[in-house]
Structure 1
Amino acid sequence: MTPPIVMPAKDNALDVHFKRKKPIIGVIHLRALPGAPRYEGESMAGIIAAALADARTLSQGGIDGIMVENAGDMPFSRPENIGYETVAALSAVCQEIRGAVDTPIGITCVANGAIPGLAVAKAVGARWVRVNQWVNAYVANEGFLNGPAALAMRYRAQIGAKDVSIFADVHVKFGAHAITADRSIAEQATDAEWFDADVLIATGTRTGSPTRPEEVAEVRAGTNLPVIVGSGLSPEQVPALMAAADGAIVGQWLKHDAKWWNPVDPHRVEQLMNAVEKERL
């Protein structure tokens, strides 16, 4: 039997970036940015004001981290087609958020914009980038996507951003996994660690869809890295998922009426964090 690949130990990125164990990261879904199909000329001041309101609500509600995502830019460009205007606008918003709250922030530049996300993170002092497909390949809504790890890690070194962590999805949502269907989720987790991810993410099938504890366990079986939940956490699911995972990213559930395009609801933030605190005891 072939022995398992053993990677050199590295610092736990969650311990580096967050003050609490099992951190909860809230998502700010930005309105459509300049250049996106659904952008209708709104001023950057308006886009920033909405994002700042969400950031303050999340921070005041005790969220441990904030992830900023250009979610309003649907349909999303392929990574190689993400424009300068997107990077500029995302940087402008994130810089304002960094000045408004003390909560650590990260970047998601969709679709799968690892290199643009790293550029934004370096410019604004963000702590991590989320990359939905880090290794291997799959068929996404945007078509066939290759994992960007090799190019992205070289770019990260080039711009001196080694302190920006990679939060990488395993068995990513919104995609077909036929290309890697002959390999277990644990093997795919090992691939992501081998290609220098820092935190692995287990998700459901779509935004807001529940992550199964079994999915978390399958990812964890292939890695020594921290594993967090990437979708579908609600107060009812906190006991099972927080027992299985090292933290979570929460977006849709925290919004008014649980719709991702709505503002963050402070009562929902309070409800979720109260449930989380019980599991931290």
Structure 2
Amino acid sequence: ELFGRTKVVIGVVHLAPLPGAPRYDGEAVDAIYQRGLDDARSYLDGGCDGVIVENHGDIPFAKPDDIGPETAAYMAVVSDRIRRELGKPVGINVLANAAIPALAIASAAGAGFIRVNQWANAYVANEGFVEGESGRAARYRARLRANGIRIFADAHVKHGAHAIVADRPVEELVKDLVFFDADAIIATGQRTGHAADLSYISMIKEAAGLPTLVGSGVTPDNANDILGVVDGVIIASALKHDGVWWNQVDPAR
């Protein structure tokens, strides 16, 4: 519904480090915006149906309550520019697991969805113990009168340990996401660029009963096979120069 088609390809705009982040080196903000816009344009010119704007340069990532308002401000500006200039659906992912700032950005920038790595339950991530944001975020979305912003929720998200919920099958964790009003489910491998097994992906889609996407390890070589199982893919590293996530998008790829 959001993209106007049944199979979608979404590119990820990995923003350079933003002011306030440890790796920010004083680069002009307009240059950061332009790089993000250039990457978004390359994705869409190459056939992607939309993009996710993500503060992936803000390493090491902070927990949601430690993310400053400056991050939301800069991300809202670049996301709005991308949406206005390119006219395709835009999503927001604020790392790490910052659903409330993501909703604020999406509301300000006219974005159609947010990605949330831990919508329900909890896990141990690089940032430490991370709890599901659904209860707080759903209420915040309602206060903004922004219920049209969809929630794309990761299942058994990458870059973390799930020992705290290891007594529950992944299928049950997926059903928790559905119960807590996720609109789409994202399956991933163990880390950025790591492909998930097709049988695992199929299991998540069957358990969800919702539109399901694969959010890591997608390449031009495996995209058709994956899209034969799920409704969409989220791609980044495979389309960057040298296949490295922090490089810009390579239009030739």
TM-score by length of 1: 0.88
Q: After superposition, give the CA deviation of every residue in 1:166-193 in whole Å (9 maximum; x if it has no partner).
A: 0000010000010111111111110000
Q: After superposition, give the CA deviation of every residue in 1:103-162 in whole Å (9 maximum; x if it has no partner).
A: 110000000010000000000000000000110010000000110101000000000110
Q: Does 2:63 match 1:85?
A: no
Q: After superposition, give the CA deviation of every residue in 1:36-78 in whole Å (9 maximum; x if it has no partner).
A: 0000111111101111111111111111011000000000110
* Runs of 4+ residues over 2 Å off in structure 1: none
Q: What is the percentage of aligned positions where both structures have the same residue?
A: 50
Distance 1:198 1:266 in 2: 31
- Aligned partner of 1:3 in structure 2 is none
- Aligned partner of 1:141 in structure 2 is 126
Q: Does 2:7 match 1:46?
A: no
Distance 1:153 1:262 in 2: 34
Q: Does 2:15 match 1:22?
A: no
Q: Does 2:84 match 1:99?
A: yes
- Aligned partner of 2:16 in structure 1 is 31
- Aligned partner of 1:226 in structure 2 is 211
Distance 1:194 1:57 in 2: 37
Equivalent pair of 1:28/1:68 in contact (CA under 8 Å):
yes
- Which protein has the bigger helix share? 1
- Aligned partner of 1:152 in structure 2 is 137
Distance 2:136 2:87 in 1: 31
Equivalent pair of 2:220/2:238 in contact (CA under 8 Å):
no
- Aligned partner of 2:117 in structure 1 is 132
Equivalent pair of 1:186/1:220 in contact (CA under 8 Å):
no
Give 1:239 shift. 3.0
Give 1:244 shift. 1.2
Kindly report the root-mean-square deviation, in angstroms, between the aligned alpha carbons of the 2 structures: 0.9
- Aligned partner of 1:72 in structure 2 is 57
- Aligned partner of 2:101 in structure 1 is 116
Give 1:19 shift. 2.1
- Aligned partner of 1:237 in structure 2 is 222
Distance 1:26 1:181 in 2: 31
Q: Does 2:149 match 1:164?
A: yes
Distance 2:206 2:81 in 1: 39
TM-score by length of 2: 0.98
Could you tell me which amino acid in structure 1 is paired with residue 13 of structure 2?
A: I
Give 1:237 shift. 1.1
| Larger Rg computed on CA atoms | 1
- Aligned partner of 1:174 in structure 2 is 159
Selected match of 1:211 from 196, 211, 214 = 196
Ranges in structure 2 where 5+ consecutive residues have no aligned partner: none
Q: After superposition, give the CA deviation of every residue in 1:208-249 in whole Å (9 maximum; x if it has no partner).
A: 101211221221232211111011111221232111111110
Q: Does 2:173 match 1:188?
A: yes
Distance 1:89 1:32 in 2: 11
Selected match of 2:239 from 254, 259, 262 = 254
Equivalent pair of 1:69/1:110 in contact (CA under 8 Å):
yes
Distance 1:259 1:19 in 2: 30
Equivalent pair of 1:107/1:126 in contact (CA under 8 Å):
yes
Per the alignment, in what secondary structure is the counterpart of residue 83 of structure 2?
helix
Distance 1:237 1:97 in 2: 28
Per the alignment, in what secondary structure is the counterpart of residue 266 of structure 1?
coil
Equivalent pair of 1:107/1:120 in contact (CA under 8 Å):
yes
Could you tell me which amino acid in structure 2 is paired with residue 216 of structure 1?
A: I
